[in-house]
Amino acid sequence: MISKLFLKNGWIGLILIAAFLIRIYNFSFPAFTFEEARIAYRGYTIATDANDELGRPLPLVFNSLSDYQLPLVSYISAGGQLVFGKGDFGVRVPFILLGTLLVYLVYLVARNFNPHSFFSVLSAIVVAFSPPLIFLSKTPNEVIVLTFFFTLLFYLLVKKNIWFAALVIVAAVLTSKLAWFILLPFVVFTSFFYSKISNKQKLILISFCAILLVLTVLLFLKVPQSERSFKENNFPLFDAITIKNGIDKLRGQGLQSGWPPPVDRLLFNKTHFLSTGFLHWLSNISPSYYFGRVDNSGTVSYSFIGALSKVLILPFVLGVFFLIKKGMRRERLILFFILLLTFPYFFLYPNFKGDLVILTLPFMALIISYGFMQMRKKWVIVVLSLMVAEVGINIFSLASEYKNTADLRPFWIKELSFEIVESSKTIKTAVSDDIAFDIAPYLGWYTEADPQSGYLKIDWAYKFRQYQFGSIKVIGSDESFKSCGSDERMRVFASKRDLEKIEKEFEVRIEKRYRDINKENKVYLTEGACI
């Protein structure tokens, strides 16, 4: 009886504990990128005085250096800090919980997909040990939230719970623009092939989803720069100058060589945008991203590992093989979710971000588990052991990770931010804008600076970089320096760029050097130079 109970609940309990422990291990890792720091800081300002970091009261569209940010993640960050206070704990815990819950959710989905308890346990293990899902559970970001919502939506639809499904659709719409492109086909596909809801319910849900999306897009189009936001972040394919110029150039060469113009027009035309988008889409879900490397930069995952452990390619191949060969239709169709969830890659040429690959991981886990089911148990144990070993090495041995992400995730900037803000309390202080991709969020997040001092109240900030944070001046590349007069005093935290600029003009005393993890001098504290 006890063993049966353990078999039923014990394994998933153990997996959830393991997943949670992996996610809280080395709690302050990874250090935040400037965008994550911005979300964290924004959460704090919202939690304290209901304004975002630019001083706007409870907005629905936020600023970031890449695109407009949708609200949900920022409000989750605010919620965490409302409960736990400002700090790593408050920001990271909601996402850790979400990441751990995702494991359980996949377990539930798998149980509906295949009644064998072994299958659902294996699916949960795969998700629990997926490197990017571990990584993203530790930072405030849209991807983990969206992955959670799509898995939840699938589960709710399978469970015929359309009212909660509708709520999740709303939540996903408010999480990321990427969801806008995936939701409708996802809902249609899942409703028709996996859900046993009545046709009337299907119609209601699909209509609701479609109307919501149309309204959202229409509302979004009212926002200044929204068209630019779509073009730059969701449809860069159609602005790809390489393709435009390539078509003209190659066609021109044909004409120069005497090929008939109609043939040249037939061969080189706008359909190249489609073929490029199509191949870009498929290339971004190629095995190298799943089992090789998903993100070399360290933005959405550990830098030197794929979205899944290398060894899982074996059950994956077996899974695909046997799904095609003898899987039931609803089992086979799970393969389409990979294509469906990554569809926006079609328009994202030439960019690649691992986010859409990560959305597919719960469904990949089902395919992999299907493969596991075809293997002998001893081989399953071998594969799982190798998986745990590889993921463990990447999680516990982080020296090269720290070095690789020294600029993107600057650990060292915490101390610097603190000193900059302290300095600004007594003396005019300036800081170079190239010591990090964006210094302002770090200043707000890592220090006790008064949020209101940074409020600029810009209505629709898009890709806005803050050059004044309270009394701290952020120095752009166009600034020039002069020697401070007798009644002037200024402390400059200069990057190499600005130090060279200063030293070209006059001599300056370097008070302190700040080094990154690679022992490279990144910032020089100077006195005597004024702007």
Partner 1 sequence: MIKKIYLILLVIMLLGIFWRFLKLADFPVQLNHDEVTQLYDAISVAQTSKDVYGNFLPFIFHSVGDFKPPFYTYITGVFYMVFGGGELTIRLPGVLFGILLIPAVFLFTLRLFKNNKIALMAAFFTAVAPFEIFFSRKSFENGAGIFLMILGFSSLLYYFEKKVKVRYLYIASLFFGLAIYTYFSHAIIIPILLSVFIFIFRQDFHSRKNIILPVLIFLLFFIPLLILTFTNEDSRNRTQAVFVTQDLNLVKEINLGNRIKATLDFSWNRYLDQFNPMYIFGNGLDFTNQGPLGVGPLLLIQLPLVILGIIYLVRLGDFNREKKFILAWILIGMLPSGLTFEPHSPHRSIMVFTMLNVISALGLYLLFKHRKLIVVLFILFIINYLYFLHMYFVNFPFEKSENIHYPFKQVALFAWSQHGSVDQIIFDPLFGETAPVIGTAAHYYMAYYGNFPPSKFQKEYRTGEKEREVLFDKFSIRKVEWRDDQYLKNVLIIGSRWSLPIESINKSKVVKTFNYYNGQPAFYAVKL
Query: Shortest CA distance to 73 belongs to which of 54, 57, 91, 85?
Result: 91
> What 3-state class would DSSP assign to 28?
coil
Q: Cβ neighbours of residue 498 under 8 Å, at least 6 residues apart?
A: 432, 475, 479, 481, 492
Question: Can you list the positions of beta strands (E) in 154-242?
Answer: none
The tokens describing 97, both together, are: 């919980």
With 0-12 CB in 10 A as exposed, 13-18 as middle and 19+ as buried, what is 325? Answer: exposed
- Between 271 and 452, whose beta carbon lies closer to partner 1? 271
Evaluate whether 146 touches 103 at the Cβ level (below 8 Å). no
Min dist. Cβ of residue 356 to partner 1 (A):
16
Query: Pairing mode, if any, of strands 472-475 and 482-483?
Result: unpaired
Q: Tell me the number of residues near partner 1 by CB under 8 A.
A: 46
Min dist. Cβ of residue 287 to partner 1 (A):
5
- Between 221 and 393, whose beta carbon lies closer to partner 1? 393
Radius of gyration of the chain (CA): 26
Instruction: Note if the bond before 350 is cis, omega within 30 degrees.
Output: yes
- Between 113 and 345, whose beta carbon lies closer to partner 1? 345
Could you say whether residue 36 binds partner 1 (CB under 8 A)? Answer: no
> What 3-state class would DSSP assign to 522?
strand
Could you say whether residue 245 binds partner 1 (CB under 8 A)? Answer: yes
Which residue shows structure tokens 């090269």? 400
Min dist. Cβ of residue 304 to partner 1 (A):
5
Evaluate whether 274 touches 325 at the Cβ level (below 8 Å). no
- Give the interface segment with partner 1, choosing from 71-79, 114-122, 258-266, 487-495 (CB under 8 A): 258-266
Q: Which of 257, 378, 459, 504 binds partner 1 (CB under 8 A)?
A: 257
H/E element, 400: helix 399-404
Q: How far apart are CA 49 and CA 515, in angstroms?
A: 35
Min dist. Cβ of residue 298 to partner 1 (A):
11
Q: Which of 306, 315, 319, 354 binds partner 1 (CB under 8 A)?
A: 306
- Between 26 and 283, whose beta carbon lies closer to partner 1? 283
- Between 288 and 521, whose beta carbon lies closer to partner 1? 288
Q: Cβ neighbours of residue 397 under 8 Å, at least 6 residues apart?
A: none
Could you say whether residue 483 binds partner 1 (CB under 8 A)? Answer: no
Q: Which of 9, 112, 207, 242 binds partner 1 (CB under 8 A)?
A: 242
End-to-end CA distance of the chain: 77
Min dist. Cβ of residue 293 to partner 1 (A):
5
Q: What is the largest CA-CA distance in the chain?
A: 85
Q: Which of 61, 72, 247, 380 binds partner 1 (CB under 8 A)?
A: 247
Interaction residues for partner 1, span 262-301 (CB under 8 A): 263-264, 266-268, 272, 275-276, 279-280, 282-283, 286-288, 291-293
| Neighbouring C-alpha atoms within 13 Å toward the C-beta of 78 | 18
Evaluate whether 472 touches 499 at the Cβ level (below 8 Å). no
Q: Which of 8, 160, 249, 489 binds partner 1 (CB under 8 A)?
A: 249
The tokens describing 409, both together, are: 């995730």
Interaction residues for partner 1, span 373-432 (CB under 8 A): 393, 397, 399-400, 403-404
Evaluate whether 76 touches 36 at the Cβ level (below 8 Å). no
Q: Which of 189, 254, 411, 527 binds partner 1 (CB under 8 A)?
A: 254
Return the exposure string of 384-397: e unless at least 16 CB atoms fall within 10 Å of the residue's CB, then b.
Answer: beebbebbeebbee
Q: Which of 10, 79, 236, 246 binds partner 1 (CB under 8 A)?
A: 246
Binding to partner 1 by CB under 8 A, coded x per residue (else -) over 320-359, reads: -x--xx-----------------------xx---------
Supply angle C-alpha 138, 32, 133, rounded to 5.
30
Min dist. Cβ of residue 159 to partner 1 (A):
31
Could you say whether residue 240 binds partner 1 (CB under 8 A)? Answer: yes
AA identity, residue 402 = Y
DSSP code of 311?
G
- Give the interface segment with partner 1, choosing from 50-58, 67-75, 257-265, 457-465 (CB under 8 A): 257-265
- Between 62 and 402, whose beta carbon lies closer to partner 1? 402
- Between 282 and 458, whose beta carbon lies closer to partner 1? 282
Could you say whether residue 310 binds partner 1 (CB under 8 A)? Answer: yes
Q: Which of 110, 165, 243, 443 binds partner 1 (CB under 8 A)?
A: 243
Min dist. Cβ of residue 259 to partner 1 (A):
7
Min dist. Cβ of residue 279 to partner 1 (A):
5
The tokens describing 439, both together, are: 């210094």
> What 3-state class would DSSP assign to 490?
strand
Q: How far apart are CA 43 and CA 106, in angstroms?
A: 28
- Between 50 and 266, whose beta carbon lies closer to partner 1? 266
Min dist. Cβ of residue 291 to partner 1 (A):
6
Could you list the residues that contact partner 1 (CB under 8 A)? 240, 242-243, 245-247, 249-250, 253-254, 256-257, 259, 263-264, 266-268, 272, 275-276, 279-280, 282-283, 286-288, 291-293, 304-306, 310, 321, 324-325, 349-350, 393, 397, 399-400, 403-404
